[in-house]
Amino acid sequence: MDKQSRTIICTAFCNGKKHDFKLFQESKLHVVASSKVLVDSGYTGIKKIHSNVEVPKKRTKKKKLKREEKRQNREISSQRVTNEHVIGFLKRFKILSERYRNRRKRFGLRFNLIAGICNYELPKTV
């Protein structure tokens, strides 16, 4: 997603359940080195693939987060909130928010059509 225009740039999906980071790796999506990537804590290994990444810190059972680390996590979350809003906007379509029970071959087409509708409907902030 482009943060400024809030348009959906790229989509990736698969059959069945798969972790987001595994799906990202298998999609072989080329990310420009100059672009800043904001991800959630599920993408912990992405720093090996891309250098300009912001991933929130995780606490462990033995070691709690310091105030500075919590503040950094809050900053990352506040930057990612527009992305989460667009995901929520996509999930207003019932076909994406519930279990998909139609032909699997056509899921990609339908998802991209819904993303196109969302790109058309989102208010332009630029």
User: Domains in the chain: how many in total?
Assistant: 1
| 87 φ/ψ sector (left φ>0, alpha ψ -120 to 50, else beta) | alpha
Contacts of 82 (CB under 8 A, 6+ apart): 1, 3, 6
Q: What are phi and psi of 119, to 5 degrees?
A: -60, -35
Q: Does a structural domain hold residue 96?
A: yes
For the chain, percent of residues with pLDDT exceeding 90: 11
Q: Does a structural domain hold residue 4?
A: no
pTM of the shown model = 0.70
Q: Does a structural domain hold residue 62?
A: yes
Q: Does a structural domain hold residue 46?
A: yes
**Residue of 90, 84, 112, 82 lying closest to 6 (CA atoms):** 82
**What are the distances in angstroms from CA 94 to CA 86, 91, 100?**
15, 7, 9
pLDDT at position 65, please? Answer: 92
Tell me the pLDDT tens digit for each residue of 41-82: 888 888 888 888 888 888 889 999 999 999 999 998 898 888
- What amino acid is encoded at 101 in this protein? R
Q: Does a structural domain hold residue 50?
A: yes
